Amino acid sequence: MSGARKAAPGRIRIIGGSLRNSRLEVPDLPGLRPTADRVRETLFNWLAPMIDGARCLDLCAGTGALGIEALSRGAASVQFVERDPRAAQALRDNLARLKATNGEVVALDAAQFLRGVPRAQDLVFLDPPFALELWPALTRQLEQGGWLAAQAWIYVESPRTTVPALPPNWQLYRDGHAGEVRFALYRRALPLS
C-alpha cells in the first residue's frame, strides 16, 4: 500500500515487460494507494539488471502493482502478502485475468506472515501503510527471520520526510522522491558476526 496520494478506485497500468499496458483493477478501499507510475518506472529501471529470475516478496501488497510489474519483467516468482481480504481477492482476480501463474497471494498480516517458515527472497517490496509505522518491526523480521538472500535487494517506501530505521547492513543503493513519498532501494550485506 503506498503512493504519493490516494488513487481513485479504478485501474492502474503495468509499465513494462510482457504484461505492459495491462490494467489492474483497483478496489475502493481506505488507505489503498498504488505506487505511482513514475515511481514504478524509476524503480524498475534501477532493478533491470537483477529482476530476471528473481524470487520476490511483495509485503503489504495492496494492489500488487509492484509484484505484478516484477512478474511482467521476468521475476521467477512473487509472493504477495495482503491483510485486507478484499484487496487480496482483487489481487487474485488480477493475477488470474493476466494468467500470471507464478504469483501467490497470502491473505495475512505481514508480521504474522513473517513468523512463518521463511523462503529466502532476492527482492522484497516493503511498502506498509504509512500511518502504522511498521518499518522497524518488519525490517527486523525480514533480516533476522531468514527471509533475505545473502545479497537481497529491498525496496522501501515511506513518507517523504521519513527515513525509517533499517538494519545497519542494508546499504542504500538509490533513492528519490515523488510528491509526499520517499522511495529507496537497498542492498543487503551480510551482517558482521
Provide φ and ψ at 124, rounded to 5°.
Answer: -125, 135
- pLDDT on residue 33: 74
SS3 content of the chain, % helix, strand, coil (to 5): 25, 30, 45
Per-residue pLDDT of the chain (193 residues; tens, 9 = 90+): 444 334 445 778 899 998 998 988 888 787 777 888 899 999 999 999 999 999 999 999 999 999 999 999 999 999 999 999 999 999 999 999 999 999 999 999 999 999 999 999 999 999 998 878 899 999 999 999 999 999 999 999 999 998 899 999 999 999 999 999 999 999 999 765 5
Structural domains of the chain ordered from first start? 10-188 (3.40.50.150)
Total Cβ atoms within 10 A of residue 111: 15
pTM of the predicted protein model:
0.90
> Sign of torsion, CA 97 102 106 110?
negative
> What is the C-alpha separation between 68 and 59, in angstroms, rounded?
13
Tell me the C-alpha distance between 52 and 123, whole Å: 11
DSSP label of 116: S
Length of the chain: 193
* Number of neighbours of residue 21 by Cβ within 10 angstroms: 8
Cell (9 digits) for 42? 524509476
**Closest by Cα among 128, 81, 59, 122 to 92:** 81
